[in-house]
Amino acid sequence: MRVLVVGGGVAGAAVAYFAARGGARVTIVDAGEHAASHVPSALLNPVRGQSGGVDERALEGLALTWALVRELEGAGWRVPHGQAGVLRPVPDERTRARFVRHLPPALPHRWLTPEAFPVPLAPGWPQALWLPEGGWLDGAALCTALLGASGAEVMRGRAVAWDAHSVTLEGGTVLRGDAVVWCGGAVGAGWAGEAGTHRAGTLLTLERPATPLPVSFGAYLAPGAGGTGVLGATFEAPTPTWHPPTLPAPSLRWLLDRGGALTDLRGVRVTGRWSGTRLSGLVAGRQASGVWRLSGLGSKGFLLGPLLARHVAGDVLRDGAA
Ligand SMILES: Cc1cc2nc3c(=O)[nH]c(=O)nc-3n(C[C@H](O)[C@H](O)[C@H](O)COP(=O)(O)OP(=O)(O)OC[C@H]3O[C@@H](n4cnc5c(N)ncnc54)[C@H](O)[C@@H]3O)c2cc1C
């Protein structure tokens, strides 16, 4: 069976990996631009945002992503990561009650008071939720490893049209296959002229981690590859269409303030920035057109992306065999 995948971010790379593992011959078309998945350090954090919501698939997704990282590293691919926990400070009792309401009993966690915080936080945080199974990973490295390990043929370029059995590239080349899976992310939705909910954000890359373990509330601090660190968040106002992400001066100030509210950032040098856009509105399955799709992973690209990709790839293969 030949599977054509549009997009080589975490969604497309993981679909390719699982489809190839299931015996398919996979070709990926990837423009290689504006991939949200190339976020320098992404959190694997099952307890989301300031609501503390936990997706019903979070535990399974977390376990699968870490298993995948181990599998890829075992096969010789390097995926910088740290599976040493995530700390979620909460500012008050109301927020804690909200978090508690969402916490599934099966999710390992502990509430800590300041004396027991595993990293020094800025003053004023009365408590924090410790999630020992969370962590961080290098998004681009995971995609590279998945693509490499899949053995898929990767074609650099932009797809301009697709249907259930073909993909047309800029320049007119037509690829044919038994199934087409669209995983174009926020930028692809923009190029396709689709309306959606796009949210842009920025990570400042730091010379060293501001905290040795990831810390997240409002913004996040995390270690990154090679002894570096990041301070980031997705915080720009949502827009219905995709725009190249920028970092306006007020956003930079906001981000630094949020980082400073988490821990003391004095002496931590900023070395650069990475900006990206994520798309909300999960779609995982076959569309009326016959094209399969995995998109709209929102802020949970690495928590749920591989898990949903495994489902989609499984359905594509079963359908092809029927
Ligand atoms: C600032 C920020 C921080 C984030 N932090 C986290 C985090 O901590 N944890 C977490 O789990 N998630 C995080 N996310 C979300 C996560 O990055 C996304 O959910 C995920 O990367 C989306 O993956 P994707 O494969 O759907 O899309 P993308 O990674 O955007 O990949 C799409 C790819 O398809 C290509 N493409 C699109 N259209 C075409 C076409 N027509 N032809 C050829 N190629 C095409 C693009 O060039 C791109 O390479 C963050 C996002 C941002 C912006």
pLDDT tens-digit profile of 63-96? 999 999 999 999 999 999 999 999 999 999 999 9
d(CA 104, CA 56) in angstroms, rounded, equals 9
Ligand 1 nearest-atom number relative to CA 277: 53
How high is the pLDDT of residue 280? Answer: 96
Instruction: With a cut of 90, say whether residue 115 has pLDDT above it.
Output: yes
Is-contact 259 265, C-beta < 8 A? yes
Q: Are 78 and 183 in contact (CB under 8 A)?
A: no
Q: Supply 29's token pair.
A: 């078309």
Which residue among 39, 199, 242 is best mutated to probe the pocket of ligand 1, counting the most ligand atoms within 8 A of its Cβ? 39
Give the distance (Å) from ligand 1 centre to CA of residue 266.
31
**Residue 286 CA neighbour count, 13 Å, CB half:** 16
- What's the average model confidence in pLDDT over 176-201? 97
Q: Write out the residue range of the structural domain in which residue 131 sits.
A: 2-321
Distance 43 CA to ligand 1 centre (A): 14
- Please name the residue that has the structure tokens 């926020």: 186
What would the DSSP string read from start to end of 24-41? -EEEEEE--SS-GGG-SS
Distance 35 CA to ligand 1 centre (A): 4
Strand partners, 174: 168
Q: What is the pLDDT of residue 304?
A: 98
What pLDDT, on a 0 to 100 scale, did the predictor assign at position 283? 98
- At 252 the pLDDT is 93
For residues 172 and 176, give the distance between their C-alpha atoms in angstroms, rounded to a whole number.
13
Query: Ligand 1 centroid to 242 CA: how many Å?
Result: 12
Which ligand 1 atom lies nearest to the CA of residue 278? 53
Confidence of residue 38 (pLDDT cuts 50, 70, 90): very high
153-157 contacts: CB < 8 A, separation 24 or more? Answer: 153/26, 153/27, 153/28, 154/8, 154/27, 154/28, 154/30, 155/27, 155/28, 155/29, 155/30, 156/30, 156/31, 156/32, 157/29, 157/30, 157/31
For strands 127-131 and 292-295, give the pairing.
Answer: unpaired
Report the C-alpha gap between 18 and 71 in whole angstroms: 13
Nearest to residue 201, comparing CAs of 263, 248, 264, 268?
Answer: 248
Distance 33 CA to ligand 1 centre (A): 10
270-280 and 283-286: which strand pairing?
unpaired
Share of the chain above pLDDT 70, in %: 100
**What is the structure's pLDDT at 228?**
98
With bands split at pLDDT 50, 70 and 90, how would you rate the model's confidence at 235? confident
Is residue 142 predicted with pLDDT exceeding 90? yes
Q: Give residue 147 CA to ligand 1 midpoint distance, Å.
A: 15
Decide which of 49 and 205 is more confident: 205
Q: Which residues line ligand 1 (CB under 6 A)?
A: 6-12, 29-37, 39, 42-43, 158-159, 183-188, 191, 201, 203, 232, 234, 276-278, 295, 297-303
When pLDDT is cut at 50, 70 and 90, the band that residue 236 belongs to is confident
pLDDT given for residue 322 in this prediction: 85
Q: What is the CATH number of the domain that holds 222?
A: 3.50.50.60
Residue 147 has pLDDT above 90, yes or no: yes
Query: Looking at residues 267-284, what average pLDDT do you find?
Result: 96
Quick one: CA torsion of 46, 52, 54, 59, rounded to 10 degrees?
A: 30
Strand, helix or coil for residue 42: strand
Residue 268 has pLDDT above 90, yes or no: yes
pLDDT exceeds cutoff 90 at 133: yes
Tally of domains in the chain = 1
